[in-house]
C-alpha cells in the first residue's frame, strides 16, 4: 500500500515537473505561432504559478474538509481538464488563462500530496517516501526538456500529453486509504486503526496501538486548542515551524533554479547559441537535476536534512558567482559554451541535491496537526508566489541589468539561504511527526536543541 501511495505521489510530482518544465522548449514554438513579446512570454510562463498560489490555498481547505484522499482525486481531475484546455488554446491570452487553471492543480498537489504521504509513512521511511514526489519532479522536468529538445512534436501535443499520467493518478489514488491522522480528527478511529494495521504490515498490534494513541493525544490537544487552522499559525509556539517552512520555500525559489529551468534556452539563444544547442543544454541540466535528486534521496535519511543543505548551498552560490563573472567580463560566447554549461550543471547539481530536496520534505514534517493543512498551504503559497514573481521579472531583470549581475543577485540569495538554514533549521531526520510537534510545544525547535 505504501508503494502504491509513493507511486501516486511520484506521478503528481512528475506532473508538476512536466507541466512547469515543458514551457521552456515550448516557448520557442509558441513565440513563432503567436508572435508574442517578452512580457507575454513571462505571462504565459507565470500563469501556472499564479494558479498554483490559488490552488495551494483551496487545496488546504479541501484537505481539511474532504480529507487528503478525496482532495487528491479532485486535483487529478483538474490536472486532466487544465492540460487539455492548454493544448487547444487559440491565442496567447487563452493559453495563459488555461495555465492558471492547470496551476491550481499543481498548487493543490504540492500542498496535499507530500502531507498525505508523510501522514501515512512510518518515521524511518518518511523521508524517502515523501521525496518520491520531489524526485519525480526531476523526472518530469527531464522528460519535458527531452520532448522540447527533440523538436519533433508540436507544443500542443507536448502539453496535452500530460493528461495521460493525470488520469493514471486518479485511478491509482481511487483505491488508496485515507490518512489515519485525518480519520482520527473526524472521529473515525476504527478506520484509522484498520488503515494503520494495513500500512504497518508486520508491526505488532501493540506498536499500532501506540502510534494510534500518539495520534489521538495530538488530536485531543488540537480540539482543546483555542485556535486552529489559519488563525493557529499565529500562535507563538507554532511560529518557529512557519518560519522554517515558509523560509525554506522562499529560498528554494530565490536559489535561481526556476531561472535556469524556465529560461535557459531563452538566455543561451540570446548570447549566440543555436536553438538546438540551447535545448540540448537544457537536457543536460534536467538530467543533472534528476541524478542529483537520486544522490540526495539516497543519503538524506542518513546525512540529515540540515547538514545536506549546509554542505551543498555554498557550491550553488559559487557556481552562480562564476557564471556572473563570465557574462560581466564579456566571455559569454559560443566559444565558452562548454564553461557556461558546465557551471550551470554544477549549480544544478548542488541546489538539486540540497536546498530543493529538503524544501518539500521539511514542509511535510514541521507543522503541528492542528495547523498542518494551513501550514503546508502557507508554505506552498510562499513557494508559488515567489516563483510567480520571479518568472514575471527574470527576463525583464536580464534586459535591465544584464545576465551577469542577475546571476550575482541569485548567488547572494544562496548565501542568505545558507545563513537561514544554519541559524533557523533544526535537524528532523528519524523523528516522528508527533515528536517534532512536542519540540515545538516545549520551545526546543531550534538547531542544536532537538
Closest CA to 4 of 109, 111, 117, 95: 117
What are 251's three cell numbers? 529560498
Ordered by where they begin, the domains of the chain are 2-176+225-442 (1.20.1250.20)
The reported pLDDT for the residue numbered 80 is: 94
What does pLDDT average to in each consecutive run of 10 residues of the chain (450 residues)?
79 87 81 82 84 85 87 93 93 92 88 79 68 78 83 88 92 86 87 83 71 82 70 86 91 85 74 77 86 84 86 95 88 75 91 84 77 80 84 83 90 95 85 81 75
What are 291's three cell numbers? 541524478
The reported pLDDT for the residue numbered 450 is: 44
Q: What is the CA radius of gyration of the chain?
A: 21
- Distance in Å from the first CA to the final CA of the chain: 31
Largest CA distance in the chain: 68
Q: State the pTM of this model.
A: 0.74
The reported pLDDT for the residue numbered 203 is: 59
Amino acid at each position: 500500500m505504501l508503494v502504491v501511495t509513493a507511486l501516486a505521489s511520484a506521478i503528481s510530482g512528475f506532473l508538476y515537473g512536466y507541466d512547469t518544465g515543458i514551457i521552456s522548449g515550448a516557448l520557442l514554438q509558441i513565440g513563432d505561432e503567436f508572435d508574442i513579446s517578452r512580457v507575454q512570454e513571462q505571462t504565459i510562463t507565470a500563469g501556472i504559478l499564479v494558479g498554483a498560489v490559488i490552488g495551494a490555498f483551496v487545496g488546504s481547505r479541501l484537505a481539511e474538509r474532504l480529507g487528503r484522499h478525496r482532495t487528491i482525486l479532485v486535483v487529478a481531475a483538474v490536472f486532466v481538464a487544465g492540460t487539455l484546455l492548454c493544448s487547444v488554446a487559440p491565442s496567447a491570452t487563452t493559453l495563459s488563462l488555461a495555465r492558471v487553471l492547470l496551476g491550481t492543480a499543481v498548487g493543490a498537489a504540492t500542498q496535499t500530496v507530500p502531507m498525505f504521504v508523510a501522514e501515512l509513512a512510518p518515521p524511518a521511511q518518511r523521508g524517502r517516501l515523501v521525496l518520491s514526489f520531489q524526485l519525480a519532479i526531476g523526472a518530469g522536468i527531464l522528460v519535458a526538456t527531452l520532448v522540447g529538445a527533440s523538436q519533433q512534436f508540436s507544443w500542443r501535443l507536448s502539453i496535452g500529453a500530460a493528461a495521460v499520467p493525470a488520469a493514471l493518478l486518479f485511478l491509482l489514488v481511487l483505491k488508496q486509504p485515507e490518512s489515519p491522522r485525518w480519520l482520527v480528527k473526524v472521529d473515525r478511529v476504527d478506520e484509522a486503526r484498520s488503515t494503520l494495521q494495513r500500512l504497518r504490515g508486520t508491526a505488532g498490534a501493540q506498536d499500532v496501538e501506540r502510534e494510534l494513541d500518539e495520534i489521538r493525544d495530538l488530536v485531543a490537544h488540537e480540539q482543546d486548542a483555542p485556535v486552529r487552522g489559519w488563525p493557529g499559525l499565529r500562535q507563538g509556539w507554532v511560529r518557529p515551524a512557519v518560519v522554517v517552512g515558509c523560509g525554506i520555500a522562499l529560498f528554494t525559489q530565490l536559489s535561481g533554479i526556476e531561472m535556469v529551468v524556465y529560461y535557459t534556452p531563452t538566455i543561451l539563444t540570446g548570447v549566440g547559441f543555436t536553438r538546438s544547442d540551447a535545448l540540448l543544454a537544457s537536457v543536460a541540466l534536467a538530467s543533472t537535476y534528476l541524478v542529483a535528486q537520486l544522490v540526495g534521496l539516497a543519503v538524506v535519511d542518513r546525512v540529515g536534512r540540515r547538514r545536506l543543505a549546509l554542505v551543498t548551498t555554498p557550491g550553488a552560490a559559487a557556481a552562480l558567482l562564476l557564471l556572473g563573472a563570465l557574462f560581466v567580463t564579456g566571455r559569454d560566447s559560443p566559444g565558452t559554451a562548454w564553461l557556461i554549461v558546465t557551471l550551470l550543471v554544477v549549480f544544478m547539481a548542488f541546489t538539486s541535491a540540497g536546498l530543493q530536496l529538503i524544501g518539500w520534505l521539511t514542509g511535510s514534517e514541521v507543522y503541528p496537526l492542528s495547523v498542518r493543512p494551513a501550514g503546508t498551504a502557507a508554505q506552498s503559497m510562499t513557494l508559488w508566489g515567489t516563483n510567480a514573481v520571479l518568472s514575471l521579472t527574470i527576463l525583464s531583470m536580464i534586459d535591465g541589468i544584464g545576465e551577469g549581475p542577475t546571476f550575482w543577485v541569485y548567488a547572494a540569495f544562496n548565501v542568505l539561504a545558507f545563513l537561514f538554514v544554519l541559524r533557523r533549521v533544526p535537524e528532523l531526520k528519524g523523528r516522528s511527526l508527533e515528536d517534532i510537534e512536542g519540540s515545538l510545544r516545549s520551545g526546543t525547535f531550534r538547531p542544536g536543541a532537538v
